[in-house]
Amino acid sequence: MYDHQILVQNGTGTTLDCFCHAACDPRDYILVPTPYYGGFNKDISRRAEVKIYPLDCSSDNNYLPTIKLLEDTLSKARREGCNVRALLIANPTNPVGMMFSRDQIREMIQFCHRNQLHYVSDEIYMNSVHGQGAQFISALSIDNIPDPNAVHVLWGFSKDFGMPGFQVGCLVSHCQPIKDYMIKRSTLFQHPASYVRQMLTTMINDREWLENVYFPACHMRLRENLELTIEMLEKNGLSYIRPVGGLYIFVNFSKFLSASTREAELALWDKFLDAGVYITPGEAFHCTEPGWFRLIFAEEPSLLRLGLQRIQAALESVGGGH
């Protein structure tokens, strides 16, 4: 990776928005596996008028897409007259926290090449991989890519460094025409502040601090908080998908629903809110299976314990569901 392959803008969402203007036309489609980060809707659709075509994944496969699902969904979209231009993958996934292997990434890139699609990898949680022995694989590390100009990576400071307010994200791409378009479009309005760029450059150049202090401490704290969270979940007989990356865990509360419906999911969400705790229902991530919620555990341990106690109190008030 070279400096000229990196385009920096004021936020990862801004960068994705600008990429959609560059790579797509209004009313084109991008394939996105569900459940997915709800902010993709505004990043992709609000200004560029590009639409999301969902790949409905299953909890049986930890909500990871298979090549057969990709092929079947793309065929269905094209039969419906949808002009699909790209596949957008979050790695690690959000809200589930799973990662893709090197072989899986290579297969998805090859799928995109066969079907003349861009492969876009949102790797904003790449440095928040905390699973024991887990190793993050970036799309940038895949060798023998059939068309490097069709592979693009998004990253930003908001998650790995807890700095969303600094508004700095980037696109890494070999495709000069897309970068040229994005540069022209962002000249006036989408640059990060100069003092922010200077401060963050100084920070990431301190490799010794990052590799020996910051990231090890973050990963250790995430692992400890995850175990604390899982202890409460198992105490209440809740199933979950154990994450290897990200700041959250995807939990199945369906046993506490009055029925397997979106309305029942939102009713349970109201119970959590009444108990003084906010966890995000699966509907916000376009999850097709009612009852799943994303629980963020990246918090001070005392506050995390309080939140978990409030979740437990809400569940006790509901009872066993249906």
Segment 86-145, tens digit of pLDDT: 999 999 999 999 999 999 999 999 999 999 999 999 999 999 999 988 999 999 999 999
DSSP E strands in 176-319: the ranges are 239-241, 248-252, 280-281, 292-296
159-175 pLDDT, tens digit each: 999 998 888 999 999 99
Per-residue pLDDT of the chain (322 residues; tens, 9 = 90+): 556 788 898 899 999 999 999 999 999 999 999 999 999 999 999 999 999 999 999 999 999 999 999 999 999 999 999 999 999 999 999 999 999 999 999 999 999 999 999 999 999 999 999 998 899 999 999 999 999 999 999 999 999 999 988 889 999 999 999 988 888 876 667 888 888 989 999 999 999 999 999 999 999 999 999 999 999 999 989 999 999 999 999 999 999 999 999 999 999 999 999 999 999 999 999 999 999 999 999 999 999 999 999 999 999 988 754 4
Which of the 8 DSSP states describes residue 245? B
Q: Could you please report the per-residue DSSP string of 19-70?
A: HHHHH--TT-EEEEEES--TTHHIIIIITT--EEEEEE--GGGTTPPPHHHH
The two most distant CA atoms of the chain are separated, in Å, by 58
Strand order across the beta sheet in which 118-122 lies = 6-9, 169-173, 151-156, 118-122, 84-90, 29-34, 51-56
Distance (Å, whole) CA 174 – CA 146? 13
Distance (Å, whole) CA 74 – CA 237? 38
Q: Are 248 and 294 within 8 A, CB to CB?
A: yes
**pTM score, two decimals?**
0.94
Coil, helix or strand at residue 121: strand
